[in-house]
Structure 1
Amino acid sequence: MPSPGAKLSHSSPFCKGGPTMPSIFSYQSAEVDWCEGNFERLTVIAEYYNTLSISNVSFFVLSPALVYLNQQYRQQRALPLYFFSGLLFCVGIFSMYFHMTLSYVGQLLDELSILWTLAVAYSFWYPRVYFPRFIKSRKHFFWLSGVTTVIITTLMSFVKPAFNAYALNCIAFHLLYLTWCELKKCNDKRVHRTAAAMVLCWVLAISSWISDRWLCGLWQSINFPYFHSFWHVLIAMSLLYCCPLVVYFDVNYEMPSFKPKLGYWPSDSWPVVVPYIALEEPYKQC
């Protein structure tokens, strides 16, 4: 079995032949290789835990959970929620494919699916009060987000795919800044508690990502190279708290006739809960 991080002499268990340039679809043709050992459990799956464990299943659970729990919001603004949830589902699929093959195409699909999911989220939910001065409408902001994503991030993926992993984590800082700006305007203790849980999960997630990337030798020495799997789970949990916050602020800005209320599933009394947004009855119009 190849050691973690080593490249095979041929790119796939299914590809035999001489030392030719590997196909972009070939096993282990990606620029990155995570700390988990390759092909240790199955000969057709490069990174077993990053592919089949709960780490990627979490994305498949997150997507329908957002749609189901936020039923009232979905009735008012179905397109953003369905679109975003569908892209999250794609993130899970492409992440599984990437970690199964460690192929160049898998790496591109994995990173681009995340980039486009963020672009869609920004396009639908970025508050108008933060628009640049030259943007006059949501339609113009859609075009700005789309063009920026295509020209800068998507094309950059083909030049240097590994760069996007760091760019994606930098975007998180902007999201945290926006959350902080909105929390200063909000007195709802549930919103602040949910934001704190989101930040905690994100800090643990990014710590796991950095640990797997930079301290791989240490984790291999103690036979515990699974921190990238923890990253998947923790970032999905962070999104589980982040998305209701985004919806909460969106209702405040875009649906002034409704008042958002943060609820907890299955019950407020449970120690571990999933937040969602309920809409109180519309205010009476004068």
Structure 2
Amino acid sequence: MPSVFAYQSSEVDWCEPNFQYSQLVAEFYNTFSNVTFFIFGPLMTFLMRPYIQQRSRYLYVLFVLFTVTGLFSMYFHMTLSFLGQMLDEIAILWLLASGYSIWLPRCYFPAFLGQNRTKNKELQHLIEVSTVIWALAFTSWISDRLLCSFWQWINFSYLHSIWHVLISFTFPYGMVILALVDSEYEMPNKTLKVRYWPRDTWPMGLPYVEMGDDHKSC
């Protein structure tokens, strides 16, 4: 029985050819496509800092877990080891569980899926964009698993690396959506304004929130 640390000790193997560019990296593109996690994690921590300081400093843990998820995913695809697979999957579960524990609803959650929340055009736009990105990401993931022979036939077996990039974009959108909904219950005297990095006028960017006083009532 191979060691859990051994290369290719995992039963999971993605469509990308193994060791195509290096004897040390099993899946080259699937490994280095995780770089977006290392960029978006610290960047969103900086952009969301005013919100984090007023809402909960535990959100810093969420950003750390997001970055760690990218690190473990990189390790998994570099080695295709059983340990890498377990670390990758556990990190994802911890990330999801941590986000839920921080934004645990106090009443009627997830109300943003109802009409009373989607009347907010900004929130509705974020939901729509994040849904499209997630759908594209999921399509890339499932296509890599189910249509591998086709992608190898046309010499384009890198859809799982595209999944990494797209799914890393859904994290900022999902976080801002939850922050907007959560503020209705937990920060009723604050107004959260959605901004986009690097510029609001760009057609695509990373969303974040700015804080403001509003003295609104629930």
TM-score normalised to structure 1 length: 0.72
Quote the Cα distance in structure 2 between the aligned partners of 1:239 and 1:282. Answer: 27
Tell me which residue corresponds to 2:141: 209
Q: Does residue 1:272 correspond to 2:210, yes or no?
A: no
1:62 is matched by which residue type in structure 2?
A: F
Q: Note the C-alpha offset of 1:114.
A: 0.3
Per-residue deviation, residues 172-221 of structure 1 (Å, max 9, x unmatched): xxxxxx47525642422121111111000000000000000000010011
Distance 1:71-1:79 versus aligned 2 partners, 3 A rule: closer
Q: List aligned pairs for 1:1-286, cutoff 5 A.
A: 21-52=1-32, 55-130=33-108, 178=110, 181=113, 184-283=116-215
The farther-off stretch of 39-48 and 122-131 is 122-131
Which has the greater radius of gyration? 1
One-letter identity of the residue aligned with 2:140:
S
What SS does structure 1 have at the residue aligned with 2:10? coil
Q: Say what the alpha-carbon RMSD is for the aligned residues.
A: 1.8
The number of equivalent residue pairs is 217
Change in Cα spacing, 1:37 to 1:184, as seen in structure 2 (3 Å) is farther
Q: Scaled by the length of structure 2, what TM-score is found?
A: 0.93
4+ residue runs over 6 A deviation: none
AA paired with 1:61? I
> Contact (CA 8 Å) 1:252, 1:260: kept in 2 or not?
no
Unmatched runs of 5 consecutive residues or more in structure 2: none
Percent identical: 47
- Please give the per-residue CA displacement for 1:109-165, whole angstroms capped at 9, x wherever unaligned: 00000001100111111312247xxxxxxxxxxxxxxxxxxxxxxxxxxxxxxxxxx
CA deviation map 1:5-63 (0-9, x unaligned): xxxxxxxxxxxxxxxx21111100112100000011000110001112xx201111121
Unaligned runs of 5+ in 1: 1-20, 132-177
* In 2: Cα distance, 1:219 partner to 1:276 partner: 36
